[in-house]
Amino acid sequence: MKFDDLYYIADELNKKKVRWMIGSSVLLYFHGMVNSPNDIDVVIDEKDIMKVKAIFDKIGIEQAKEKKYPYLTEYFYTYIVRDTSVDIMCNFGVAHQYGDYRLKIDESAIVEYRKINDVILPLSSLEDWYVLYQLMPGRENKVNMIEEFLISNGVDHYELFERALTQPLPEAVAYNVNRFIGDKS
């Protein structure tokens, strides 16, 4: 992944006043947990999905990609923009044995607006991705990275953990989240 490509994409989305946020490995990179993300994961507000599709049709080349269980993401597109693979997700969801979990995108979900090279990058929360990664198969390494970070640096967004608990979650995930909530007092 090239960071100049990220800044280019961010500038295009921001010019069109799209509500979006960065997640996954780029988010982990900005918190010092990974050295180099492989691709860019962009989470989009549903009201902007057609606008975003038009932007990416102009600046990138769409790649065929099939939806795979347990992912329930309503709109999922992969593009190559310049030299970088970009996954665009809207109504991002993961199925599990107790139901479906959906990532909400609203002003609460965007926890930081980081300015780099005169471009604003809206970042999603580690708290949301801590929950999501626990629901995704094969992401134990990322769960452990975030958990260690939250233990060392503290939880900044307890309200997002509390919001996560309003959706169906496996007992182990709810237990892990509640451990952090119990630490806030």
**List of domains in the chain:** 3-182 (3.30.460.40)
Percent of the chain with pLDDT over 90: 95
**Mean pLDDT over the full length of the chain:** 96
Residues 6 or more apart whose CB falls under 8 angstroms from that of 54 comprise: none
Judge whether residue 184 has pLDDT over 80: no
- The pTM of this model reads 0.95
How many angstroms separate the CA atoms of 80 and 89, rounded?
15
How many angstroms separate the CA atoms of 151 and 155, rounded?
8
The H or E element containing residue 71 is: none
Indicate the pLDDT class of residue 68, thresholds 50, 70 and 90.
confident
The arithmetic mean of pLDDT across residues 149-175, rounded, is 97
How many angstroms separate the CA atoms of 170 and 139, rounded?
16
Spatial contact of 133 and 150, defined as CB atoms under 8 Å apart: no
CA–CA distances in Å: residue 104 to residues 36, 67, 89, 129: 26, 20, 12, 11
pLDDT of residue 185: 52
